[in-house]
Amino acid sequence: MKLYNLIFKARILFFNLMPVVERNYTLQKTYELFYHRLNWTIISCLSTFLIYFKTIKLIYFSVIFYRFLSLNFFKYSTNYWLIFNQKLNLKLPFMVRIFH
């Protein structure tokens, strides 16, 4: 049963990271989609640890880690980064109340 769960999670992770390639997309757009999905997958994995450990430190760690990833990988466009910042500013006080 544990092996089945592991395979299932690996499949979900792979399909989340797999970029959507269509005829209209350029190579740059494909990379944008790939790194956008990669970053959000890592953030969702970190949020699972947040729920498990229930500490505020991991929230700050996940934000710092996301910024590190966005600086290194996400060089093509900043639109998703701005959207993430807006959503995070709205959700962070709510998360602090829940996980503190």
More confident residue, 5 or 93: 5
- Which pLDDT score, from 0 to 100, does residue 14 have? 58
- Which pLDDT score, from 0 to 100, does residue 77 have? 47
Number of domains in the chain: 1
Is 96:56 a contact under the CB 8 Å cutoff? yes
DSSP code for 94: H
Instruction: For residue 48, give Cα distances in angstroms to 20, 29, 76, 80, 92.
Output: 25, 29, 28, 21, 16
Q: What is the value of pTM for the model shown?
A: 0.24
Q: Provide the residue range defining the domain that includes 21.
A: 2-99
pLDDT 10s digits, 25-84: 555 565 666 666 666 666 666 666 655 555 555 555 666 566 555 555 544 445 555 555
